[in-house]
């Protein structure tokens, strides 16, 4: 068997609210990946995307990593990880610089992005990503690739994503204590979008919504660049909690009922079947109508999608969504979520599966793997699988995040 050189290997760990998933890929050529290892473990140490119990999170990371190591036949030392949670905020910023030699060079672009990053950062927050949206040379049209063009003044419009230092630190500490060095931290919806959106969608305009267990992560693209991001602390687990409370059933049973009989809208209910459910007190069972279940789920699904719709309206973003909406993440698997979204957004909606060229047959064809696979694609895009940033932990994280400035090129 051919030996796999470590620099041909990329590893991602999606530290989600319901599951932790490690993916190992071998890099084929410059732009292709082959999945060679998958490890998954239930996650109990996060709430709404934020680490609340380090011990449980470390334990779950170790389990997911071990499983992937056994499958891939390698030892995992470092990985790319995702970040989400209600602490994530984004703002728009401009950076303006003189074009030093009359023709835009990469260094001018880089300087403009650095200038856009020079904004007051709220206390306790740090910049995670600086994402250029478009450029303007001498107050003319929007430009997406300014290098080589003539002018005097270069302006960049950038989307800056910030997160809480302590949340980032806790996530990194959990990985380090599980024996994994963090190579970079990537906003989860940027990863998911990379995995499920087509180039056409990202060019013409699309909103991707990753409905996970603890958070719904939104990313809006047009002209292949990010236009808006947001993280809402409402997702699939809230549906399950509502079912458990509404039907007086254990959480495990509520989750099972949701997956088997759940519907996002009563309009899709053809037969009002009877369902036998376990009661929270002991082993007692009770019969409910499926419509009783849908009556609990529908308002929650409507609330989540309407909240996202209202925020997109508030930011004047609907016109950019030419190709509509792509739903992904485990929450998108709730039956009827796509048709409900289509009704609320009044535009086409599809479910986004990770677009995997070389997969262990069928194994990752599920929206719950969008983030994990997208993290690998982001790592591949950055072409920095060999980067090993030395130094104190926080310095290393910040340096690593700064690499997003150069990722543009």
Ligand X SMILES: Nc1ncnc2c1ncn2[C@@H]1O[C@H](COP(=O)(O)OP(=O)(O)OP(=O)(O)O)[C@@H](O)[C@H]1O
Which residues bind to Mg ion, rule: CB under 5 A?
16, 212, 371
Q: Is 278 in the site for ligand X (CB under 6 A)?
A: no
| The only residue of 95, 212, 324, 352 in contact with ligand X, by rule CB under 6 A | 212
Q: Which is nearer to ligand X, 16 or 163 (CB)?
A: 16
Binders in 319-338 for ligand X, by CB under 6 A: 329-331, 333-334
Task: Pull the structure tokens for residue 265.
Answer: 């809208």
- Residue where the block lists tokens 């690998």: 376
Q: Which is nearer to Mg ion, 151 or 331 (CB)?
A: 331
Residue 26 touches which of ligand X, Mg ion, none (Cβ within 5-8 Å per kind): none
Rounded Cα distance between 23 and 1, Å, is 21
Site string for ligand X, 7-46 (x = CB under 6 A): ---------xxxx-----------------------x---
Rounded Cα distance between 222 and 206, Å, is 7
Rounded Cα distance between 109 and 115, Å, is 10
Q: Is 163 in the site for ligand X (CB under 6 A)?
A: no
Containing 134, the helix (H) or strand (E) segment is strand 125-137
Q: Considering only the C-alpha atoms of the chain, give the largest distance between any 2 of them, rounded to a whole number of Å.
A: 79
Q: Is 237 in the site for ligand X (CB under 6 A)?
A: yes
DSSP assigned state of 146: -
Q: Is 354 in the site for ligand X (CB under 6 A)?
A: no
Q: Which is nearer to Mg ion, 16 or 45 (CB)?
A: 16
Residue 240 touches which of ligand X, Mg ion, none (Cβ within 5-8 Å per kind): ligand X
Q: Is 259 in the site for ligand X (CB under 6 A)?
A: yes
Containing 186, the helix (H) or strand (E) segment is strand 181-187
Q: Which residues contact 60 (CB under 8 A, 6 or more apart)?
A: 20, 41, 42, 43, 44, 45
DSSP assigned state of 359: -
Q: Which of 359, 349, 238, 241 is nearest to 303 (CA)?
A: 238
Site string for ligand X, 81-110 (x = CB under 6 A): ---x--------------------------
Closest distance to Mg ion from the beta carbon of 183 (Å): 19
Closest distance to Mg ion from the beta carbon of 15 (Å): 9
Contact segment (CB under 6 A) with ligand X among 28-36, 90-98, 138-146, 206-214 equals: 206-214
Rounded Cα distance between 209 and 400, Å, is 26
Rounded Cα distance between 80 and 379, Å, is 7
Rounded Cα distance between 308 and 220, Å, is 12
| The only residue of 95, 146, 262, 374 in contact with ligand X, by rule CB under 6 A | 262
Q: Is 372 in the site for ligand X (CB under 6 A)?
A: no
Residue 128 touches which of Mg ion, ligand X, none (Cβ within 5-8 Å per kind): none
Rounded Cα distance between 115 and 122, Å, is 17
Q: Which is nearer to Mg ion, 12 or 371 (CB)?
A: 371
Q: Is 47 in the site for ligand X (CB under 6 A)?
A: no
Q: Which of 100, 355, 327 is nearest to 218 (CA)?
A: 327
Residue 105 touches which of ligand X, Mg ion, none (Cβ within 5-8 Å per kind): none
Q: Which of 171, 74, 68, 151 is nearest to 108 (CA)?
A: 151
DSSP assigned state of 271: S
Q: Is 213 in the site for ligand X (CB under 6 A)?
A: yes
User: By Cβ distance, which residue is nearest to Mg ion?
Assistant: 212
How many residues touch ligand X under the rule CB under 6 A: the total is 25
Q: Which is nearer to Mg ion, 157 or 237 (CB)?
A: 237
Name the residues that contact ligand X, by CB under 6 A.
16-19, 43, 49, 84, 212-215, 235-237, 240, 255, 258-259, 262, 329-331, 333-334, 368
């Amino acid at each position: 068997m051919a030996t796999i050189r470590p620099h041909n290997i990329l590893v991602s760990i999606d530290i989600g609210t319901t599951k932790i998933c490690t993916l190992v890929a071998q890099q084929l050529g410059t732009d292709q990946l082959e999945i060679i290892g998958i490890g998954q473990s239930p996650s109990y140490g996060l709430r709404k995307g934020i680490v609340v119990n380090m011990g449980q999170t470390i334990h779950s990371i170790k389990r997911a990593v071990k499983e992937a190591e056994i499958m891939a036949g390698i030892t995992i030392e470092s990985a790319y990880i995702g970040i989400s949670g209600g602490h994530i905020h984004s703002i728009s910023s401009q950076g303006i610089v003189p074009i030093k030699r009359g023709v835009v060079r990469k260094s001018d672009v880089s300087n403009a992005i650095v200038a856009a990053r020079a904004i007051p950062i709220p206390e306790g927050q740090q910049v995670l990503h600086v994402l250029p949206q478009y450029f303007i040379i001498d107050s003319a049209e929007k430009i997406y690739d300014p290098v080589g063009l003539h002018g005097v003044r270069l302006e960049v419009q950038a989307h800056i994503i910030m997160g809480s230092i302590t949340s980032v630190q806790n996530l990194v500490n959990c990985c380090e204590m599980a024996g994994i060095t963090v190579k970079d931290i990537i906003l989860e919806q940027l990863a998911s979008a990379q995995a499920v959106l087509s180039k056409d969608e990202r060019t013409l305009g699309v909103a991707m919504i990753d409905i996970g267990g603890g958070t719904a992560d939104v990313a809006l693209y047009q002209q292949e660049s990010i236009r808006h991001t947001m993280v809402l602390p409402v997702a699939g687990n809230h549906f399950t909690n509502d079912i458990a409370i509404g039907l007086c059933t254990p959480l495990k049973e509520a989750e099972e009922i949701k997956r088997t009989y759940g519907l996002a809208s009563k309009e899709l209910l053809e037969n009002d079947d009877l369902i036998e459910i376990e009661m929270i007190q002991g082993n007692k069972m009770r019969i409910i109508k499926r419509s009783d279940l849908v009556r609990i789920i529908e308002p929650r699904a409507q609330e989540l999608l309407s909240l996202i719709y209202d925020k997109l309206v508030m930011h004047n973003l609907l016109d950019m969504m030419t190709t509509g909406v792509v739903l992904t993440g485990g929450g998108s698997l709730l039956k009827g979520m796509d048709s409900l979204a289509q009704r609320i957004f009044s535009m086409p909606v599809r479910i986004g599966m990770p677009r995997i060229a070389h997969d262990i047959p069928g194994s990752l064809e599920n929206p719950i793997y969008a983030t994990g696979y997208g993290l690998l694609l982001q790592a591949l895009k950055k072409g920095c699988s060999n980067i090993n940033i030395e130094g104190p932990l926080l310095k290393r994280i910040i340096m690593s995040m700064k690499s997003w400035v150069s990722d543009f090129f």
